Structure 1
Amino acid sequence: MDRRRFVGGALGVAAGAAGAALLPVPSAGAAARADGWQQVPVPDGAEMAALRAVAAAGPRLAWAVGTEGLDRDTYGKPLSYVWNGTAWSRTDTAGLGFDGSLMDVAANASGDAWAVGLDRENSLWHLYAWDGDGWERVPLPGDSTPGNPVYDITVAPDGDAWAVGSYDGTPRTLHWNGRRWRRLRPLPSGNNNPAVGVRRTRRGDIWIHGSGVCARWDGAWHEIPVEGHPQYVTGMLPTASDDIWVCGYNWVLTGGRPPGARLRHYDGTAWHHVETPFVAGELVGIVGDARDRPDRIAGWEYPNWNQAHHLRWADGSWISERGPASASPVLMNGIERVPGTRTYWAVGSTSFFPRPPGQVRIERLSLPGPR
């Protein structure tokens, strides 16, 4: 997910808040159909609260992270939940010791999990590992120097991890080998566009992506030329080196216009625009099935945002899939498929930042049969 998102996550910078304030309140007449998605109870956070990301180790263990208590005059506090197979409960984040947010979370089927934290007051980014009870900070090169962001992280089955961000204004990709973080060498082209997302395929390749970068690491970098990518890239699914999906959105604040959902596909030769069931709104994340084939994309539609508007891959195209109707907005920020199942988590908030003060939102889709 693009960690610079400033709307839809209720966490954005002032520019995003101003733009959101220009949007009208949605009508209550949104479509009522819900395609199997159900809202799952979760303890409230301190308003304003929102979830940024979700990760799952399996049916009995998952994490969701974000922020709470955010207002125009505050940075908010980190917020974290854990799923035990029956219910979501809060984890203690007071010991993290900063004002800001947990921006991302990643996990593997063995229960290894990492979270990205942003100390907004001091512009410091930190990485945390799950110790079984809470989040423990792990040293990261540059994490004591302001302005060295970490945008995304992914975890391999063996516990190795990769993260993307920048250091001293230069993009970087980091590898955790179980003992320390080491920086991978730069892209051979000298591309200075920061990657905002990192993904590991089932084959073990590491892909990084952003609005101006797309590359695969298999011990060496293999770059794919980028053209026409969304202004804000929120997810990538590399089915193969010649079959890649990128989702996101464009935003133009002039006149309070809504964002525009964008989906791109690479066929080995060129990138192509893909028509989606809705145009105004955001696509906020994409997941594949157990074979990395296209599966689902999370999103929300303007102005019918009283239901999440996801996309499902069926018969060679993306079709609409609705979440349950709500009296408040449903603004999703992330999606995750539970390993070894046909169960999905989607997380977000019930309000734009900062008013009206929203709450966290978690939805689940459970389909029969293994995937």
Structure 2
Amino acid sequence: MPRTARTRRTWRALRRVPAALAALAAATGAAPPDGAGPVPAAAGPVPAAAGWHVRPAAPAVRNQELRAVAALDARTAWAVGNEDTGPGSVPLVERFDGRAWRRVTVPAATGGLDAVLPLGPADVWAVGSRADDPDDPPGPADPADGDDPGGPGRGLALHFDGRAWREVPLPAEPAGRAAHPFALAADAAGLWAVGASAADRTAQPRPLALRWDGTAWRRAPLPGPGGDAVLLAAAPDRAGGLWAVGVAYDPDGTGRPLTLHRDGAGWHQVDAPSPAGRTSTLEAVAAFAPDDVWAAGGTGPSDDPARPFLLHWDGTRWQDAALPAGTGGVLHALAAADDGTLWAAGEQPADATPGFTLRRRAGVWSHRSADRTPAGDGASLLAVAAVPGTGAAWAVGSTLPQQQDSWHPVIEAYRP
């Protein structure tokens, strides 16, 4: 991916969807990676002090970005993203084995991964988008791979069975359209992927929901918000259902929060407040209970998102929620820990080191600075995950937003 191209962050930055999908298309037209086999990483010292500390990622010979992270337990975590190849990018998967982060071999594909979800040691899913040959015009759907073999690109789903990763077909889209799953979550009905389906990569994006029924991915009907819309995050509601959040666009391009809830009767759109005269989007959602759900993103003038946006669901309605005074930038991720702690991660683009985190414990928010040592210089944080049963957390991202000639992945560990 060229350093001036944008990936999912374009959606996060509240830009108009067609322009974002065009950038996504440019960012994912690449050749398959060369080489094979896992790449080891130095373990590095375990941080002694409480707080966020950079941990070494797997050694890289190309520019890389990590977009999502999830922890199964204290000894197992996964992070996914993309690796630059010059004209495009290829998927990147790293695994923490209790000592070090190591790169893992995945099926050759162009594009990148936006979400990862470990359901067990031998049941891990990752989704994102891939691009076929940009010079190959769109053709009819191919039953062998579940999508158009060329032209508009397509969604990418990978599964790890404890031994190896393999690609799993996604449902075929109508001719000229492509699916772009951005998030994963599981509820009583099984595993879900949400995102957007768009025409020719750029036009008429519509919310997308796919359900894994144990043998295949199947598309699920969604209520239409009207006009362009994208789902960017999903989380179980802790009562057998699911929340999905994102952004819906008015005809003039103004974005407003989009929240959908799935219960036993299906998916329903739920009204959410939106600041008047501002573009607002939701990029993250996390739940502790059916009446304790949080959603976060950013809000600001249409051409310049300026501040975080946080909502809380009390079981009846979404309401604006306050953040610590002086909090700026945009929130990209939320994580609900099993001890009741809520983590938020985001970036303040104007800062030399944009990444920051917030922690809510016992009803009180506080800032938790990302690593400010030289090892953390330039880091943006795009995802955060609580480590079950420990009070610890992982955060990942990259130094790409600083528009450096080269950039590298960022992995930080929080020690309580």
Native 8 Å contact 1:164 1:173 kept in 2? yes
Matched, 1:197 2:233: yes
Distance 2:358 2:78 in 1: 23
Name the residue aligned to 1:59: 74
Distance 1:281 1:102 in 2: 24
Matched, 1:127 2:157: yes
Distance 2:211 2:114 in 1: 19
Distance 2:117 2:297 in 1: 19
Native 8 Å contact 1:307 1:323 kept in 2? no
Matches within 5 A, 1:1-371: 4-6=8-10, 36-69=51-84, 71=86, 74-93=87-106, 95-98=107-110, 100-120=111-131, 122=151, 123-142=153-172, 146-155=177-186, 160-167=190-197, 169-187=205-223, 190-192=224-226, 193-211=229-247, 212-220=257-265, 221-228=267-274, 231-250=280-299, 259-267=306-314, 268-290=316-338, 293-306=340-353, 308-327=355-374, 328-352=377-401, 354-367=403-416
State the Cα distance separating 1:41 from its structure 2 match: 1.1
Native 8 Å contact 1:45 1:79 kept in 2? no
**Per-residue Cα deviation, 1:322-357 (whole angstroms, up to 9, x for no partner):** 122143211001011123332211000123275331
Distance 2:321 2:225 in 1: 23
**Which shifted more, 38-47 or 160-169?**
160-169
**Which shifted more, 161-170 or 342-351?**
161-170
Unaligned runs of at least 5 residues, structure 1: 17-33
Distance 1:259 1:46 in 2: 35
State the Cα distance separating 1:302 from its structure 2 match: 4.4
**Per-residue Cα deviation, 1:180-219 (whole angstroms, up to 9, x for no partner):** 12233323xx434432222124433211111242222222
* Structure possessing the higher relative contact order (Cα contacts under 8 Å, 6 or more residues apart): 1
Native 8 Å contact 1:263 1:274 kept in 2? yes
Distance 1:286 1:258 in 2: 19
Distance 1:57 1:70 in 2: 30
Q: Call closer, same or farther: CA 1:161–1:145 in 2, change over 3 Å.
A: farther
Q: Call closer, same or farther: CA 1:177–1:109 in 2, change over 3 Å.
A: same
**Per-residue Cα deviation, 1:114-135 (whole angstroms, up to 9, x for no partner):** 1113224552211111132442
State the Cα distance separating 1:294 from its structure 2 match: 4.9
Distance 1:353 1:92 in 2: 28
State the Cα distance separating 1:8 from its structure 2 match: 8.6
Q: Call closer, same or farther: CA 1:251–1:67 in 2, change over 3 Å.
A: farther
State the Cα distance separating 1:87 from its structure 2 match: 0.7
Distance 1:207 1:218 in 2: 9
Q: Percent identity?
A: 27
State the Cα distance separating 1:137 from its structure 2 match: 0.7
Distance 1:300 1:207 in 2: 24
Distance 1:14 1:44 in 2: 31
**Which shifted more, 281-290 or 348-357?**
348-357
Q: Call closer, same or farther: CA 1:175–1:270 in 2, change over 3 Å.
A: closer
Aligned length: 336
What amino acid sits opposite 2:288 in the alignment? T
Q: Call closer, same or farther: CA 1:81–1:366 in 2, change over 3 Å.
A: same
Q: What secondary structure sits across from 1:325 in the alignment? A: coil
Native 8 Å contact 1:345 1:362 kept in 2? yes
Q: Call closer, same or farther: CA 1:116–1:347 in 2, change over 3 Å.
A: same
State the Cα distance separating 1:91 from its structure 2 match: 1.0
Name the residue aligned to 1:22: none
Q: What secondary structure sits across from 1:149 in the alignment? A: strand
TM-score (norm 2): 0.71
Q: Call closer, same or farther: CA 1:110–1:135 in 2, change over 3 Å.
A: closer
Native 8 Å contact 2:238 2:288 kept in 1? no
TM-score (norm 1): 0.79
Native 8 Å contact 1:44 1:359 kept in 2? no
State the Cα distance separating 1:273 from its structure 2 match: 4.5
What amino acid sits opposite 2:385 in the alignment? E
Q: Call closer, same or farther: CA 1:198–1:315 in 2, change over 3 Å.
A: closer
Distance 1:320 1:297 in 2: 10
Distance 1:151 1:127 in 2: 11
Name the residue aligned to 1:25: none
State the Cα distance separating 1:59 from its structure 2 match: 1.8
